[in-house]
Chains A and B, each alone.
Chain A
Amino acid sequence: QQQVKQSPQSLIVQKGGISIINCAYENTAFDYFPWYQQFPGKGPALLIAIRPDVSEKKEGRFTISFNKSAKQFSLHIMDSQPGDSATYFCAARTWEYGNKLVFGAGTILRVKS
């Protein structure tokens, strides 16, 4: 119930392409879904986040799509760039678990130039 399942484990995309990372959850009490980006040797940093009362949120080239009925959400990176190469983590949060962030396993994205 506490898990957030993330796929794929790794992803290779050509420069200019669309990168798509998917996450799924079971607990409907989750009410906040952030995505974090982590570069090698650095800490994770918040990229974009969504609440379940909206189906999509866009910030620049990054879009979260949220499907409440399917309990799934995904990150789309449009016009992927080599500088986007990093590990991406989805996460979820609920008061049920003391508002702690539950992270997915991460996706290593490599954008080829």
Chain B
Amino acid sequence: DTAVSQTPKYLVTQMGNDKSIKCEQNLGHDTMYWYKQDSKKFLKIMFSYNNKELIINETVPNRFSPKSPDKAHLNLHINSLELGDSAVYFCASSPGFGSTDTQYFGPGTRLTVL
């Protein structure tokens, strides 16, 4: 049983296009996240939702818009894709927003912008 799943696993697209990445968790967690891992493997949080409410919104271009239709899903939509958006995007979830709540990561979506 996959705990945190993402689709698609790979996404190759042209500059200027709009794309979405979907994330679902079946752990019953209240909190979900989006992270970006760049080519040097640096992991940085982009967004966090708790019970469908946005609680962390890092300095991310407005072209990135998260949407949480329900507690189990957090999708990421990216408008007007740029070369610099190429990265691996990870979704994660945790039971809550407490300081010791373990975050469980999905398998990642490798986005390549040509």
Q: Do A and B bind each other?
A: yes
Residues of A within 8 A of B (CB): 31-32, 34, 36, 38, 41-46, 49, 51, 87, 89, 93-95, 98-101, 103, 105-106, 108
Q: List 29 A-B contacts (CB under 8 A).
A: A31-B99, A34-B102, A41-B108, A42-B107, A43-B90, A43-B92, A43-B105, A43-B106, A43-B107, A43-B108, A44-B43, A44-B90, A44-B105, A46-B103, A46-B104, A49-B100, A89-B43, A94-B99, A98-B56, A100-B45, A100-B56, A101-B45, A101-B103, A103-B42, A103-B44, A105-B40, A106-B42, A106-B43, A108-B41
CB distance from A2 to the nearest CB of B (A): 11
A44-B105, A103-B42 given; name 14 further pairs at CB < 8 Å: A31-B99, A38-B41, A42-B107, A43-B92, A43-B107, A44-B90, A46-B103, A46-B104, A49-B102, A51-B100, A100-B56, A105-B41, A106-B42, A108-B41
How many angstroms from the CA of A49 to the CA of B98 in the assembled complex? 14
Whether B114 sits at the interface, judged by CB under 8 Å, is no
How many angstroms from the CA of A41 to the CA of B90 in the assembled complex? 11
CB distance from A94 to the nearest CB of B (A): 7
B71-114, CB < 8 A from A: 90, 92, 97-100, 102-108
Looking at chain B's contact residues, is the secondary structure mostly helix, strand, loop, or mixed?
loop
Contact count band on B? 20 to 34
Report whether A100 and B42 are in contact in the complex, using a CB–CB cutoff of 8 Å. no
